[in-house]
């Protein structure tokens, strides 16, 4: 049962799509864009289309999960290739890297929407994202993208509450931003480095770790982050010698565990705003 405030937000979210003829959802498979896709489909049916951008910064397992979720919801789903890795403004990894990523995404989706007769593109930006450093927000705004969750003030925790209410099995799915977010600003991003980080995180998932986890890449050092209250659990859960051997096989020469623990957006601490 939803409280009155959250019930009202869900009604307002549905109303946005009731006022739409048809929309494209920029759908990463993450919990936020998946909620948007779910509500869009519930209201619009086949007049809603979810599109996922395939690139080296998306884990193959996450692309596969996005496909499974779309099929479960019933929404039409397409995959498009984006080429942000061809843009040196992106691969040089400046502090506004996300701007160039979202520019590439929406410069791909906007013409598709026009060609296919869809009114506009929506994304999964939530109200909490507006409080973080997110240069990609500007790129989306410049291209006329709407952010229904942010428009009605739905926070991250409310995304999970609504997803559970709507009986979405992945309501407690950990956040999984693109792999490029694993590198400190200024360190060049390459396909090889993305693959190395992706292999490391997939290794931890395949060993059964559930919940938030990141492998930050700093040169040839892998810095593993898990929630601070789960550090001891991680040490007992993982076979450290096997982990170290595998990570070295991926190309890391030093493997560390961040004692501060996982915190979303930690690399933004280095930005002087």
Q: What pLDDT, on a 0 to 100 scale, did the predictor assign at position 271?
A: 67
In the sheet that 221-225 helps form, which strands lie side by side, from edge to edge? 214-218, 221-225, 254-257
Contact 129, 148 (CB under 8 A): no
Average pLDDT (233-237) is: 95
Average pLDDT (24-35) is: 97
pTM of the model: 0.93
**Segment 266-269 long-range contacts (CB within 8 Å, at least 24 positions apart):** 266/216, 266/225, 267/181, 267/183, 267/184, 267/185, 267/216, 268/132, 268/133
Assigned token pair, 34: 């998946």
Q: What is the chain's mean pLDDT, rounded?
A: 95
Q: Report how far Cα 261 is from the mean position of its chain's Cα atoms.
A: 20
> Residue 247 contacts by C-beta under 8 Å, 6 or more apart in sequence?
200, 203, 222, 255
The tens digit of pLDDT for each residue in 183-217 reads 999 999 999 999 999 999 999 999 999 999 999 99
Average pLDDT (223-227) is: 97
Q: What pLDDT, on a 0 to 100 scale, did the predictor assign at position 270?
A: 66
At 119, the pLDDT band (50, 70, 90 cuts) reads confident
| Residue-range domain boundaries for the chain | 4-165, 179-270
Q: CA angle at residue 23 from 19 to 76, to 5 degrees?
A: 130
Q: Do domains 4-165 and 179-270 have the same CATH topology?
A: no
Give me the architecture of the 4-165 domain, per CATH.
3-Layer(aba) Sandwich (3.40)
At 215 the three-state DSSP class reads strand
Percent of the chain clearing pLDDT 70 (strictly above): 99
Average pLDDT (72-86) is: 97
At 273, the pLDDT band (50, 70, 90 cuts) reads very low
Alpha-carbon distance of 70 to 111, in angstroms, equals 22
Q: Say yes or no to pLDDT of 237 above 80.
A: yes
**pLDDT top residue among 265 and 101:** 101
Q: Say yes or no to pLDDT of 86 above 80.
A: yes
> Residue 214 contacts by C-beta under 8 Å, 6 or more apart in sequence?
182, 201, 224, 225, 262
At 150, the pLDDT band (50, 70, 90 cuts) reads very high
Q: What pLDDT, on a 0 to 100 scale, did the predictor assign at position 35?
A: 98
Alpha-carbon distance of 253 to 94, in angstroms, equals 25
Alpha-carbon distance of 213 to 256, in angstroms, equals 13
- Decide: residue 236, CB within 10 A, 0-12 exposed, 13-18 middle, 19+ buried: exposed
How many angstroms separate the first and last alpha carbons of the chain? 41
Q: Say yes or no to pLDDT of 117 above 50.
A: yes
DSSP at 146: B
Bridge-based pairing of strands 221-225 and 214-218 is antiparallel
Alpha-carbon distance of 78 to 80, in angstroms, equals 7
Q: Say yes or no to pLDDT of 1 above 80.
A: yes
Check whether domain 179-270 has CATH 3.30.710, yes or no? no
Q: What pLDDT, on a 0 to 100 scale, did the predictor assign at position 195?
A: 97
């Amino acid at each position: 049962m939803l409280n009155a405030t959250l019930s009202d937000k869900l009604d307002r979210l549905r109303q946005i799509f009731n006022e739409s003829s048809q929309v494209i959802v920029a759908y990463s498979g993450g919990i936020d864009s998946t909620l948007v896709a779910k509500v869009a489909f519930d209201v619009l049916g086949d007049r809603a289309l979810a599109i996922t951008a395939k690139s080296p910064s998306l884990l193959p397992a996450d692309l596969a999960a996005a496909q499974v979720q779309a099929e479960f919801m019933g929404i039409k789903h397409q995959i498009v290739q984006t080429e942000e890795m061809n843009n040196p403004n992106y691969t040089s990894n400046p502090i506004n890297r996300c701007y160039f990523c979202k520019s590439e995404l929406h410069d791909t989706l906007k013409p598709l929407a026009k060609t296919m007769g869809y009114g506009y593109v929506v994304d999964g930006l939530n109200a909490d994202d507006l409080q973080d450093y997110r240069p990609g927000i500007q790129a989306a705004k410049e291209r006329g993208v709407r952010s229904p969750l942010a428009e009605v003030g739905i926070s991250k925790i409310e995304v999970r509450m609504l997803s559970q209410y709507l009986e979405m099995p992945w309501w407690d799915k950990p956040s999984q931003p693109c792999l490029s977010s694993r590198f400190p600003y200024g360190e060049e991003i390459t396909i090889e480095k993305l693959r190395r980080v992706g292999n490391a995180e997939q290794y931890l998932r395949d060993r059964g770790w559930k919940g938030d986890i990141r492998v930050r890449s700093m040169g040839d050092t892998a810095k593993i982050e898990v929630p601070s209250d789960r550090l001891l659990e991680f040490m007992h859960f993982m076979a450290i010698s096997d982990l170290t051997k595998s990570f070295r096989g991926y190309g890391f020469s030093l493997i560390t565990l961040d004692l501060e623990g996982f915190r979303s957006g930690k690399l933004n601490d280095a930005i002087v705003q």
